Chain A
């Protein structure tokens, strides 16, 4: 004889069981996920360790020295002489930091009454008047033998 209250209780019990089971199942899934991630992290860490060792191996000074010796015919590297070392203050001044003169060469040329302007005028005048007798080098063919004359044969 089932009473309605019993039915309710059975329903509640089933629901509770289902909920509990699903929680447990999800926890299991999470745990699997955690294990997988842990394994992955471990693998990554091991790989990092291995790569670090590999990096240390590849950057060993003695290995680099060996490589330089092998490929030096192409690289043309030479060890730094101590006389090639200099402190920053010993270097010559940068071009950009050179003190600028107050009047530049363009200013002087542009100046109307300056000597430069007069000289330029003279040049322009000389160019304008084509000279008749300008000695022009004689064009020669390919020279095979050049005799200097100073050597007695």
Chain B
């Protein structure tokens, strides 16, 4: 039997059986209707259930979303360099040294400008110095964006808004502003057009991670914690005033001064001239002032170095204050003759060597200590290595590659080693504060923090002797021009011949004065220098006593009361005002 015939058979059977059902047709008809309606009801129920489940799921999901804590998500937009803020820089008392100010810049969308002449006419009522010609060509250009004026004041902005000109708009911008102008230029530094620190503490702040923050746009419109410096604006202003005055008064090519707290190593004020205005660092002629001569210029310090030589001799134990050295005859070594400038031609005691600034005497002291000891002592004082501080502009001092006896001798009176003036002042701090080396800082530092990082580099007794010598020279020697009534200033002058084309030029001097006050209990070290001052009286020798020392006097007499140093009159420090 084929497949097809089998189906036919089955079909006929079904027909047959259906025919059988016809007999009970009536009853079965009722049943089928009933059955169909029940079926429909079932279907509707199923549909209802389906929808109910569907909406329950949606409702449940909504409840779930409602209850769930929203995840904090954010997208990182490209940093807007116009709005990237920098932290304010404050001085130790909270006076502003650098701040961000919001300005607005005016732009035009030329395709939206209806009447360029009217726009110019209206704008020139507010911006009086508007260049009509160039503005007209900007407004008529086919571009879609044109800057009209950068960095307007808020007043100008509101006036322009009041004019109601279509097609122009404002864009906020941040601009770095230094209220003091050049006052603390070399300490604070400046920023470039992208608001990145280029020099000074601005650059230091960037190197501490601000650049990374700015790169991911986290500094936009965000108030940042201000950075406080150790600088005292009042002292800084005095120091800068004196330094700039010195340039004019002594016709020097450069000058500088620094005030350091001897107990903490904080720098209270530091200025180097010529300087620049950080608000316009790229102004014409400003590049001459970029160089920070205090920390980034190296000089042969001259006789100021004798302080370190004497301290070395005293610390070595080979001599004391009562020792004497024969300074009658010049020293001849390796084709050089070491002479005294203020030669006395007799045997000198240690205070006398200091007072008369005897090259022969200091050479003999250095000779007594030896080359290795000399090198070691200067290294301990940080005079032979690059100084570590926050400021990025720090020069590497130079020294002879191999120290011979002649080097040790010339270095003993400050020739042959070039150091930065700041470095010399920092080493000078160790001489008077009890023999502790403190790395200089431009950030506030407490006495406790300073004590933790202090390194004892000489015996406290040596420091005591050095205080005596400084005071001695201040009262009797070349430091007399820096004496300030009541503040007991002591110090050591240094007049060095500058090296020109490999030879010492006698008519080009470098003058420095390393001072501390008050000498009975030193609080501050002040160092001043004048580079190539023209103060010589026709003999080609411009002495530090007539240039650098008066600078220190001026700084101390003006700044000491601000620094909180109490004046003392009379030998025993008691009040002795009878002569007034």
Contacts and interface: CB of A to CB of B under 8 A. Distances in A.
Are A and B co-members of a single complex?
Answer: yes
B99 A82 contact: no
Nearest to B576: A90
A82 B567 contact: yes
Given A50-B102, A52-B96, A60-B183, A82 B240 contact: no
B484 interface: yes
B440 to A, nearest CB: 23
Contacts of A65: 237, 241
A53 B567 contact: no
Contact of B486 (A46, A56, A79, A83): A83
B561 A53 contact: no
Report the contact-size class of chain B (Cβ under 8 Å from the partner): 20 to 34
Interface in B371-423: none
Interface string B463-494: 00000000000000000000011110000000
Interface residues of A, number: 23
B560 A61 contact: no
A62 B154 contact: no
A85 B557 CA distance: 11
Interface string A51-80: 011001101111001000000000000011
B580 interface: yes
A28 to B, nearest CB: 21
B270 to A, nearest CB: 15
A87 B575 contact: yes
B364 interface: no
Contacts of A86: 575, 577
Contacts of B95: 56, 59
B369 to A, nearest CB: 39
B99 A90 contact: no
A146 B454 CA distance: 81
Given A50-B154, A87-B566, A61 B96 contact: no
Interface in B548-580: 557-558, 560-561, 566-567, 569, 575, 577, 580
B179 A60 contact: yes
22 contacts: A46-B102, A47-B154, A49-B100, A49-B101, A50-B101, A50-B102, A53-B177, A57-B179, A60-B183, A60-B233, A61-B233, A62-B237, A62-B240, A62-B241, A65-B237, A80-B561, A81-B485, A82-B560, A85-B486, A85-B561, A85-B567, A86-B577
